[in-house]
Chains A and B, each alone.
Chain A
Amino acid sequence: MFEFFFKYSAYVYDKGEFVFAAGWPAIVATVVLAVAAVPAILRYSGVRGKSSQLDRLVLLTTRLCILSIILVLLLQPSLAVSTAVPQENFVGIILDDSQSMQLADYGDEKLAPRSDFIHEFFGNDNSKLMMALNERFKLRFFRFSDSATRLENLNELSYSGGQTRVGPALDFAHQELAAVPLSGLILVTDGADNSIDGLSASLQSLRANSIPVFPVGVGMERFNRDIELASVEAPTTVLAGSQVSADVVIDHKGFSGETVLLLVEGPDGIVGTQEVELPNQGDSTVAKAQFTATQEGPHLYNFRIAVQDGEMVSKNNQRDILIVVQDRQDKVLYVEGEPTNRTGFLRNFAIDDDPNLLLGVFMRMAENKFWRAGFESAEELAAGFPTTREELFQYKALIVGSFEADFFTTDQRQMIHDFVSQRGGSFLMLGGRNAFGEGGWQNTPVAEILPVELVPPFANKADPFYVDVFVTPTLFGRTHPVTQMADTLELSLQHWQTLPPLGIVNQVGKVKPGAVSVLEGKTANDETHVVLAYQRFGRGKALAFTPVNQWYWQMAFEIPLEDLTHETLWQQIFRWLVNEVPGQVTASTVLDRFAPGAPVTVTAGVLDDNFIEINNAAVTAIVTSPSGQTRGLELDWTIDTDGEYTATFIPDEEGFHQIHVWAERSGEALGEDIAHVEIAELSTEAFAAERRTALLERLAQETGGRLYSPENVASLPDDLRVSEGGTTVLEVKDLWDLPLIFMLLVALVGTEWSYRKFRGLA
């Protein structure tokens, strides 16, 4: 439509500069206009008769407009634009060769694969598009998916690439054509970039060299019916026996209000199911999948929803997540200020014989009389609560029961704070007559890390605070792994309703902003009290658990003897405490899966005994392939980041690789860690496979190009001519013969004539 009125496309106007070819100075043009306009003004002003002042004004205005247009035309309006010299310039045509191009959503019926567009328009030299391009440019073809190469023949396209990496593709074509005059790059793709590469550097380079990109977007922008597991977030490492909670983001189109079944399959078969009702409003929902990880080692857990009728894409209904189930033993320090029943019940029923937890108990029985049990050696904490960070930081979690703040020195209280913020450990305060505000913990560094506000205790010690509360998960807590007491969420919630009340003797304040309440308690008067809350603080996390007699869920008359609520809750709390608490050495890779032949970078974080980053450690790694072959790596400090060391290798085999990292300094071992990575063909092409118009728009705008679709790609050759890239000449295009101007003149003359007729002035 634009071209119909304006003769040239908007892109040409955007690239061109408006000029007057007649060359008259502006003052001359103004004088001519005035000379022509004055007689008309005088004539219309002097005329009387049947005309009114309004009539004369309207007629004068139309006449002056006509005169102005004629004058403008006499000035020869033109558009000066740089155009490519025919056959002097090159154009790179980059074709998407990834798996997403096989999706069948092209054509009038939306049933043909996207690749058909490529063959229809670029695979046939006799197509209008190719003829127009060949007439003006020298064409060079490239293909890209996870890597880019030259393309001699379109028959080489296989549409089997496992990844779409747009940035490296543009860089490759730019480099290949760096030595020749380049008018631009045509990029034919759906834009479904699923790499971790950025685009900014590539676009900046192209812009600096005045090389525009002309993306041609193929594929539907929005599917009619499709369900996609957009992402799955789960812990990367867990202790064996841990309850795992995974956040599954589900996108859908066309399934509003329908219920689907989410399955989780592990090494032992189906480990979890969850019914998910897809929302009416908006496209995404987050489902919580719960399961128990039992088998040790790196395992792929498959999350999937069965393909529903009419879905556009079937392969995006499932995702595999690598979870490493570790059979390690984590040290936890539990200190109690007085003998409590929960100590015995916790040790005996909940943690007894747990091979993954080493619970050291330090309990005060009387003034200056302590009892220790569960430590690795008889000397551990023989002198009392740790007095150095090195001593305290060896534990993954610290639990403080009914212990008043005054028992600890100022430095010890600060150490507890640093245990969470700096070391990344987990802290749990339990309820008791000497806990929270009742224990004087307000105004200490520990109060800062706690997820609840502390209030001063009741002044009347003869009538201490005490309430019985019925405990239930909060709205957030319902899907938290700690609160799962049954195989399904519904059964779990029902179970919570059957539990007898517990006692709280601490009057804690509200949950802090940013902290999360997982369990709450309601009294018979419907008052609400915090039961279990947590917050992330620094590198670690802190929890508050207020009931003093949670063991009652083991003993209560209403609770069947075979019930495992007490044990389950404690086991899940403990695993939550120790999971993902870092050691002095941590090993990781940016992804848990790489394509064969892709380089894998191992990153190690190294801390000293006080968990402070060190830059002069000797860090080595041994990579063990699935066949058992090993290779050694030396990791070097990155310089940019304290305590961070990296090394890169290219795996030879497919399958799970183990990367065992050690760190030492001056002959003293600092620690070790193991990471796992899977080498396999990536299958991300089916995800987010709709045409990414926004990304393609960005490519065009930031490089001075233009975005096309199959419907308007015919104008691409003409726009390429004026792209400013390559060898160009300045071309002046006449604008005096614009259809719009002719139509405007006719309209003005017709308006004057019609007005005269209407007013009887003709």
Chain B
Amino acid sequence: MELWRSKSFLVVAVLLGGASLARDLPNLPRDTAPAEEVLGQAYGGYIGDRNFVINRGNGLHEFYFTRAIYSSWSRGYGRRGRGSWATDWPKADVQFLWGLKRLTNIDAYDFDNPVTLDNPDLRRYPFLYMLEVGAMQLTPPEVEGLRDYLTAGGFLFVDDFWGTYEWQVFEHEIYRVLPNYEIVELPLDHPLFSNFYVIEEILQVPNVGNGRSGYGTWEQDGYVPHVRAIFDDDGRLLVLINWNTDLGDAWEWAEDPWYPLAYSNFAYQMAVNAIIYAMSH
């Protein structure tokens, strides 16, 4: 995430007062198109360095890295104008899949797989990735779609949102989706941290800029990384929340010699562990 956007968020937070941003948020500027239109723009065409075309052929695979397309009040970084859902897309997705297929024997679809939250097809993909959720502003169909997805058996991996304000935005939205659930801290002795790789420490993975520059790993007031979770009454993990960290950038820039390898390693380990856990539990 570039510096200017981080500063903008700080300004907004100061103006509005953090305490007023409880569950009922005031109306925030919304300048994004509905998710369906964004999807139409995203498919096909020339995007960045490569021409990514959604290809759902090539048989049936066990795992699809499915990215949630959701409504937000921010156009997001990385893919201007398409909403925050498209941050790091599709390079992060595809590069992550390269790593996943090399490190495990999961039968993974080679390409990215963005799907809107209110699309019935979302149910075909039990693993869902969302990031930049600090800008999330879900429509009612998206709320219902995500709720049904999670209670039916889906798993949500949340990434790349920073600081108090963005947490409050996310918390507000997720409690619209799962109003009777509780967000808890995931302890390091949880099986998720040892089912494939043994993770003994939660690293704060910086964005590509911070990572290259070496000037601190945090954004806004997100100084300490957290891994939090939402469980259902039977103990099933529904949502894994990576706050104050940017795993997506670490996948996206894993090949960059200036981006520290340790962060990319950790990012792959966390995601691999989460995927293995979600598929087996």
By a beta-carbon cutoff of 8 Å, the part of chain A in contact with chain B is 337-341, 343-345, 347-349, 352-353, 361, 363-367, 369, 371, 373, 402, 433, 463-466, 503, 505, 548-549, 551-552, 554-559, 561
Contacts and interface: CB of A to CB of B under 8 A. Distances in A.
Given A340-B62, A466-B60, 4 more contacts: A352-B234, A371-B276, A463-B59, A548-B60
B104 interface: yes
Contact of A338 (B62, B124, B154, B278): B62
Given A369-B196, A561-B151, A339 B106 contact: yes
A382 to B, nearest CB: 16
Given A340-B62, A365-B196, A557 B153 contact: no
B171 interface: no
B230 to A, nearest CB: 15
A339 B280 contact: yes
Contacts of A559: 152
Most buried by A among B149, B153, B234: B153
Contact of A466 (B59, B120, B124): B59
A561 B150 CA distance: 10
A364 B280 CA distance: 11
Interface string B113-147: 00000001111101000000000000000000000
A-B pairs, top 6 by smallest CB distance, nearest first, are A557-B120, A466-B59, A503-B60, A339-B279, A555-B123, A366-B104
A347 B281 contact: yes
B152 A343 contact: no
Contacts of A465: 59
Contacts of A433: 107
A336 to B, nearest CB: 9
Interface string B50-70: 000000001110110000000
A554 B152 contact: yes
A365 B105 contact: yes
A551 B60 CA distance: 14
B148 interface: yes
Given A555-B152, A557-B123, A561-B151, A367 B60 contact: no
Contacts of B152: 554-555, 559, 561
A297 B242 CA distance: 50
A364 B107 CA distance: 12
A347 B280 contact: yes
Nearest to A465: B59
B236 interface: yes
B103 interface: yes
Interface in B99-114: 103-107
B195 interface: yes
Interface in B254-281: 275-276, 278-281
Contacts of A340: 62, 279
Interface string B37-59: 00000000000000000000011
A551 B106 CA distance: 17
Contacts of B236: 348
Nearest to A364: B105
Contacts of B149: 555
23 contacts: A339-B63, A339-B104, A339-B275, A339-B276, A339-B280, A341-B63, A344-B126, A347-B281, A348-B236, A363-B280, A364-B105, A365-B104, A365-B105, A463-B59, A465-B59, A466-B59, A551-B126, A551-B153, A552-B123, A554-B152, A555-B149, A555-B154, A561-B148
Interface string B233-265: 010100000000000000000000000000000
B74 to A, nearest CB: 29
A476 B259 CA distance: 62
A366 B60 contact: no
Interface string B147-176: 011011110000000000000000000000
Contact of A343 (B59, B105, B153, B280): B280
Given A344-B279, A371-B276, A561-B151, A548 B104 contact: no
Given A464-B59, A555-B126, A344 B151 contact: no
Report which residue of B62, B104, B124, B236 has the largest number of chain A beta carbons within 10 angstroms of its beta carbon: B62
A348 B105 contact: no
Given A554-B153, A555-B154, A557-B123, A341 B62 contact: yes
Contacts of B234: 348, 352-353
B281 A371 contact: no
Nearest to B102: A366
B105 A338 contact: yes
Given A339-B62, A505-B60, A548-B60, A365 B276 contact: yes
B106, B149, B280, B281, most chain A CB atoms within 10 A: B280
Contacts of B107: 338, 402, 433
Contacts of A548: 60, 62
Contacts of B105: 337-339, 364-367
Contacts of B63: 339, 341
A349 B280 contact: no
A558 B103 CA distance: 35
Nearest to A343: B280
Given A344-B279, A433-B107, A557-B120, A349 B60 contact: no
A264 B122 CA distance: 44
A336 B121 CA distance: 26
Interface string B80-114: 00000000000000000000000111110000000
A473 B90 CA distance: 43
Contacts of A339: 62-63, 104-106, 275-276, 279-280
Nearest to A503: B60
Contacts of A505: 59-60
Nearest to A348: B236
A464 B57 CA distance: 11
A361 B280 contact: yes
Nearest to A557: B120
Contacts of B106: 338-339, 365
A343 B281 CA distance: 7
Contacts of B151: 561
A291 B63 CA distance: 38
A503 B62 CA distance: 11
Contact of B280 (A371, A556, A557): A371
A552 B107 CA distance: 17
A337 B151 CA distance: 28
Given A338-B106, A365-B104, A552 B280 contact: no
A734 B91 CA distance: 118
Contacts of A371: 195-196, 276, 280
B280 A373 contact: yes
B199 to A, nearest CB: 15
Contacts of A363: 280
Nearest to A373: B280
A557 B58 CA distance: 23
Nearest to B62: A340
A289 B123 CA distance: 36
Given A366-B103, A557-B120, A561-B148, A348 B153 contact: yes
Contacts of B280: 339, 343-344, 347, 361, 363, 371, 373
A8 B106 CA distance: 93
Contact of A344 (B59, B120, B122, B281): B281
Nearest to A349: B153
Contacts of B124: 552, 555-556
Nearest to A363: B280
A341 B196 contact: no
A294 B258 CA distance: 64
Given A365-B104, A561-B151, A556 B59 contact: no
Contacts of A552: 123-124
B67 to A, nearest CB: 18
Contacts of A402: 107
Contacts of A341: 62-63, 126, 279
A505 B58 CA distance: 12
B191 to A, nearest CB: 9
Contacts of A353: 234
Nearest to B232: A348
